[in-house]
């Protein structure tokens, strides 16, 4: 099992850099209120190699009929003919500023409509960065002070490797077929520096007309920055 969570070491500072009472929300519908004293970590290298979701690292936030498992990947298996979202939040927060967040998505949900899956880096309910896939398209979203700035390319190759970069006052969204050659898909200005984000992996059905919504699989979530090259 490979899990690397490194506390920042700053002179004169506690390892717990902030206390946050967040309304953590995904890029889809609904939200969940979670308030906790949580550490802010620099590094993440999560391979989901356990036999079950580790409750010390991830919280399955919603009572849901959708099934969540871990065995080399995090898998959300959807149940059809209902409207429901399943979210998995990181227990810790992470500093995603001036660096890159990467995740592999080897399987996305069925693209026949009424179902989507994605990943969000959440500063607070009004500020987050998100990549999602659904109904034959990808969506790259920056919510800035409560306003969504979306790029939706339309009919789109659903590439397996996703990346969100933060630099200065700009977020840049990438996809790749192989994790090496990256294509910029969208850029957006940000006003809140993502120094303390909750990582949320999610999937959900927003209608009842897709009886076979499929599953979403996630792997190799990691942060690369000056502290964690």
For 100-125, the pLDDT digits (tens) are 999 999 999 999 899 999 999 999 99
Average pLDDT score over residue span 169-181: 96
Give the pLDDT band of residue 39 (cuts 50, 70, 90): confident
Average pLDDT over residues 34-60: 86
pLDDT at 65: 67
Span of 151-165, 173-187, 195-209 with lowest mean pLDDT = 151-165
Confidence (pLDDT) at 41: 95
Does domain 3-7+36-224 fall under CATH 3.40.50.300? My reply is no
Question: 123-133 burial, b if ≥16 CB within 10 A, otherwise e?
Answer: bbeebbbbbbb
Q: Are 206 and 83 in contact (CB under 8 A)?
A: yes
Confidence of residue 141 (pLDDT cuts 50, 70, 90): very high
Average confidence score pLDDT of the chain? 83
pTM of the model: 0.84
Please report the beta strands in 67-167, taking only residues with DSSP state E, as ranges in sequence order: 67-70, 74-77, 84-90, 93-94, 99-107, 115-124, 127-134, 137-144, 147-151, 161-167
Kind of pairing between the strands at 93-94 and 40-41: parallel
228, pLDDT greater than 50: yes
Between vectors from CA 29 to CA 25 and to CA 35, what angle results, nearest 5°?
25
The pLDDT tens digits for 2-38 are 444 333 332 222 222 222 223 333 334 333 434 456 8
pLDDT: is 22 or 219 the higher one?
219
> In sequence order, which residues have a C-beta less than 8 Å from that of residue 116 and are 6 or more positions away?
28, 109, 132, 133, 134, 135, 203, 204, 206
For position 12, what pLDDT does the model report? Answer: 27
Distance CA 115, CA 108 (A): 10
**Per-domain boundaries in the chain:** 3-7+36-224
Give the per-residue pLDDT at 158. Answer: 77
Rounded-to-integer distance, Cα 143 and Cα 118, Å: 15
């Amino acid at each position: 099992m490979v899990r690397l969570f490194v506390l920042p070491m700053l002179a004169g500072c506690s390892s717990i850099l902030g206390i946050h009472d967040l309304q953590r929300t995904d890029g889809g519908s609904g939200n969940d209120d979670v308030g906790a004293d949580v550490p802010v970590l620099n590094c993440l290298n999560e391979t989901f190699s356990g036999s079950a979701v580790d409750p010390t690292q991830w919280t399955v936030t919603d009572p849901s009929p959708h099934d969540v498992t871990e065995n080399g990947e995090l898998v959300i298996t959807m149940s059809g003919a209902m409207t429901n979202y399943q979210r998995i939040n990181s227990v810790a927060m992470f500093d995603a500023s001036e660096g890159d967040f990467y995740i592999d998505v080897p399987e996305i949900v069925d693209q026949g409509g009424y179902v989507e899956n994605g990943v969000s880096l959440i500063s607070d309910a009004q500020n987050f960065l998100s990549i999602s896939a659904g109904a034959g398209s990808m969506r790259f979203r920056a919510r800035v002070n409560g306003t969504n700035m979306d790029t939706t390319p339309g009919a789109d190759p659903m590439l397996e490797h996703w990346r969100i970069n933060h630099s200065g006052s700009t977020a840049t969204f990438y996809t790749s077929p192989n994790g090496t050659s990256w294509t910029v898909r969208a850029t957006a200005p940000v006003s809140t520096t993502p120094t303390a984000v909750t990582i949320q992996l999610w999937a959900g059905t927003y209608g009842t007309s897709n009886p076979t919504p499929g599953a979403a699989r996630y792997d190799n979530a990691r942060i690369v920055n000056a502290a964690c090259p």
